[in-house]
Amino acid sequence: MATVPSDIEIAQHAKLRPIVDVAADLGLKADELDLYGKYKAKIDLDVSQRPARGRLVLVTGVNPTAAGEGKSTTLVGLTQAMRRLGKNAVLCMREPSMGPVFGVKGGAAGGGYAQVVPMEDINLHFTGDFHAIASAHNLLSAMFDNHLTQGNALNADPRRITWPRTIDMNDRALRDAVIGLGGVANGVVREEKWVIIPASEVMAILALASSREDLEARLANIVVGSTAGAKRVPIRASDLKAVGAMSLLLKDAIRPNLVQTLEGGPAIVHAGPFGNIAHGCNSVIATKTGLALADIVLTEAGFGSDLGAEKFFDIKCRSAGLNPEVAVLVATVRALKLNGGANKKNLAAEDLGALEKGLPNLALHIENVAQFGVPVIVAINRFITDSDAELAMVADFARKHKVRVALNEVWEKGGEGGEELARAVLDALDNDTSAFKPLYDVKQPIKAKIDTIVRKVYGGDGADYTPKADRAIEYLESIGLGETPVCMAKTQYSVTDDATKMGRPTGFRINVNEVYPLAGAGFVVAQAGDIMTMPGLPKEPSAEKMSISKDGTILGLF
């Protein structure tokens, strides 16, 4: 395989098309765009309300390694391949968070010759959506603390405030804090915490809202805490009269962003909830915009099928009435070897024994997606170090499970390297029948829904609950939040809640330590194992390698 330049070198040497020309490929007129320079634009919100014409394809994956397995790269390259084959295709993906950009994971704009561009803009401030979300979120925080200071007419209990603050950076010092110190003028002393913006409920709401009206209704329904006393009446954003101002701050952020792939095709990038602590999907409005404009819409869900795909099906598709027709399951030799016990420092070496032991993880993910009634295609995302014998072993295993399989080389070859996969997707769309249905009935009790996910998606024996989680579930069901989907928050590296348990474990139970409402988003979160809503930076963060030259060229950004 040829040597491929770094992602930023490829992106900086790309010849971009004017975004108005990219928009024209989708039939968008100039007055349906607001331009953010030459290469970025916001699409008119009304476009998302048009009837759907397109067919929806999901890109998901097996359990990843810490370095990522290329779902975003596959999504971009597959879309490029579709357009090379003459199809009117568009991709819909999430916006990156700056926390991972400056931490360890890197960006989320694809890689190699399968990227969305302008890559630097997308990975940094983009069109300001994350800033708008943070402002709206923290405005509600400020208004709540001001309410406490100004007499607390709602009788809020400062010990039962559930609404955190947010920032788009990995900052472990903000996980637990005390605010209001310094005297009466500085407010009420209480415990506080920050979450990263992809874990903010405002982000989840923006990603699931179907219109401005729906956005406002969801914002109004946010639960920020409860009253003092035995009854514990929920206090919502509407009680604090914050909804109008929050909506103003989100006026432009609710509109999806149009950019392009390295090969000049349209790409809609909008919203960015994490897949391990939130629902891990781009916005409903972006997806519906794509379905209104293109014949084939390709989208992704965060991390493995046990997290992103399950939430895509059970939360996003259920909420928006979407009908996914095919799922592409990205698998890599190195992830499967790691799941088979290979040394993570030596994944480049051929190891057929470890690969064979790791293949049950692939089988689990195939079964996971298939149980939702959606046809599965395994995309083997090829890395330079993969041997032919390893690639053949994965392909043979997938075929034995009676699913289509295709080699994916988009990182090195762009759209050309994804044509085999694109043809497999088109064949499935033409010949397979999707019978999509969510996994559980939302009217089931919260614990029953969690049990269904643990048993049917993770392959576990059920869930155990801390006393705190038990009390929370009882309270949530008592205030009418029992009949919502459940968003599981757990490690992405294992189907269990223990990142060290690789492959396809059996006989395990999930330990639910906290359950809390995202009433505006329309679901409750069940937090399991050692999972945090505010990541920290590694010993050597990626930010240390970044700089900007005298001519303004960004250096070290992947």
Amino acid sitting at position 116: V
Cα(2)–Cα(526) distance, integer angstroms: 45
* CB neighbours of residue 386 within 10 Å: 22
| Same domain, residue pair 19 and 66 | yes
Q: What is the pLDDT of residue 66?
A: 76
Looking up tokens 């999430």, which residue turns up? 94
Calpha distance 338→418 (Å, rounded): 25
Give me 250's structure tokens.
Answer: 């989100």
Query: Pick from 431, 464, 480: which residue ends a domain?
Result: 431
Amino acid 67: pLDDT: 64
pTM: 0.95
| Cα–Cα distance for residue pair 158/184, rounded to 1 Å | 15
Closest CA to 234 of 514, 468, 519, 515: 519
CA distances from 155 to 22, 144, 184, 520 (A): 54, 12, 18, 22
- pLDDT of 107 reads 66
> What is the separation of C-alpha 191 from the centre of its chain, rounded to a whole number of angstroms?
29
Domain match, 281 and 406 both? yes
- Please give the backbone phi and psi of residue 376, each rounded to the nearest 5 degrees, phi first: -115, 140
Tokens 């209480």: give the residue: 190
Same structural domain, 481 and 502: yes
Residues 6+ apart with CB under 8 A from 245: 139
Centre a 10 Å sphere on the Cβ of residue 31 and count the other Cβ atoms it contains: 7
Give pLDDT tens digits along the chain (558 positions): 457 788 889 999 999 999 999 999 999 999 999 999 999 999 999 999 999 999 999 999 999 887 678 999 999 999 999 999 999 999 999 999 999 889 876 667 889 999 999 999 999 999 999 999 999 999 999 999 999 999 999 999 999 999 999 999 999 999 999 999 999 999 999 999 999 999 999 999 999 999 999 999 999 999 999 999 888 999 999 999 999 999 999 999 999 999 999 999 999 999 999 999 999 999 999 999 999 999 999 999 989 999 999 999 999 999 999 999 999 999 999 999 999 999 888 888 999 999 999 999 999 999 999 999 999 999 999 998 999 999 999 999 999 999 999 999 999 999 999 999 999 999 999 999 999 999 999 999 999 999 999 999 999 999 999 999 999 999 999 999 999 999 999 999 999 999 999 999 999 999 999 999 999 999 999 999 988 899 999 999 989 988 999 998 888 887
- CATH number of the domain residue 173 falls in: 3.30.1510.10
The predicted structure's pLDDT at residue 106: 62
Same domain, 474 and 425: no
Is there a single domain that holds both residue 219 and residue 330?
A: no
Q: Looking at the structure, do residues 502 and 369 belong to the same domain, yes or no?
A: no
d(C-alpha 155, C-alpha 282), whole Å: 37
Per the structure, the complete domain to which residue 520 belongs is given by 446-528
CA distance 227 to 475: 13
Residues 215 and 288 in one domain: no
- The Cα 68–Cα 96 span in angstroms is 14
Note if the bond before 505 is cis, omega within 30 degrees: no
Are 403 and 458 members of one domain?
no
Token pair, residue 235, equals: 């206090």
* Domain tally, the chain: 3
Residue 555 lies in a domain: no
How many Å apart are CA 51 and CA 393, to the nearest integer?
Answer: 43
Distance CA 418, CA 318 (A): 30
Pairing of strands 110-111, 296-300: unpaired
d(CA 164, CA 478): 23
Which run of H or of E encompasses 103? none
Task: Name the domain boundary from 396, 431, 466.
Answer: 431
Q: Is residue 186 part of a domain?
A: yes
| CATH value at residue 473 | 3.10.410.10
- Count how many residues are written for the chain: 558
